[in-house]
Amino acid sequence: MTTGTAADPGPAPASAPPSLRDLKKEQTRVRLHTAAVLLALDKGVHEVTVEEVAAAAGVSPRTFFNYYATKEDALVGADPSRTELLRDAVLARPADEPPAVALRATLTEHVLGLEKDPELWRMRRELALRSPELAARIAGAGDRLESALVEAVYTRTGTDPATDLATGLTARTAMAALRAAFHQHRVAGFSGSLLDRLDAAFDAAGLAPAPDSSG
């Protein structure tokens, strides 16, 4: 670790039990994100200041930037480690799976993760409603993840991105499906199941279904 700040990737071994310290860091991160969303819902995205968010989360403004690189990152809960996690998840899928299957499985898991904390998810959806520019990122479908996934699938296939167009396109199409699904979900007032919509989007995009994600 070279930075010496809270933004560190965390414990080195993947299986390490979260230390007390890491737990606290995670809590602070969530508190900052939650505070940002709440305040944004209350007074509008542009009216919220980092200072307020930090105060609401009980840390100094300076510390805010140890957790999120930008105010917007805090609003959408952009966690670099989450991006890394998803990239690793793609890489961890069985080697014989075609990219489309690995991506579909991974993004499906991802969406399941979004709904883990229902209350927070409710607030985030509301924010997406009021600030559509943030919608894609709130659904975890921003540029950064797209790039990470593209890189991941190329690593899987071991093909040359300069000649193999299809692999990267598949990753980008998968992200397009996620964005389309969330957009539909949003304009539909968040009725119905986002997961179903995502499934439909994957199908419509011609991305092969993951045969069975229970094993």
Partner DNA sequence: GAGCAAACTTGCAGTCACTGCAAAACAAGC
Partner DNA sequence: GCTTGTTTTGCAGTGACTGCAAGTTTGCTC
Nearer to DNA, 36 or 89 (CB): 36
165 DSSP assignment: H
Of 7-15, 69-77, 123-131, 187-195: span binding a second copy (CB under 8 A): 187-195
**Distances in whole angstroms, Cα of residue 130 to Cα of each of 99, 127, 144, 181:** 34, 5, 23, 18
State both tokens at 204.
Answer: 């419509």
Nearer to a second copy, 63 or 83 (CB): 83
Residues of this chain that interact with DNA (CB under 7 A) are 1, 4-6, 8, 19-22, 24-25, 28, 48-51, 58-63, 65-67, 69-72
**194 burial class (0-12, 13-18, 19+ CB within 10 angstroms)?**
buried
Residue that has been written with the tokens 């890489």 in this structure? 91
CB of 126 to a second copy, least distance (A): 17
Under the phi-then-psi rule, with left for phi > 0, alpha for psi from -120 to 50, and beta for the rest, what region is 206?
left
Nearer to a second copy, 29 or 125 (CB): 125
Among 6, 7, 38, 169, binds a second copy (CB under 8 A): 169
Number of neighbouring beta carbons within 10 Å of residue 195: 15
The residues that touch a second copy, with contacts defined as CB under 8 A, are 132-133, 136, 143, 146-147, 150, 161-163, 165-166, 168-169, 172-173, 175-177, 179-181, 183-184, 187-189, 197, 200-201, 204-206
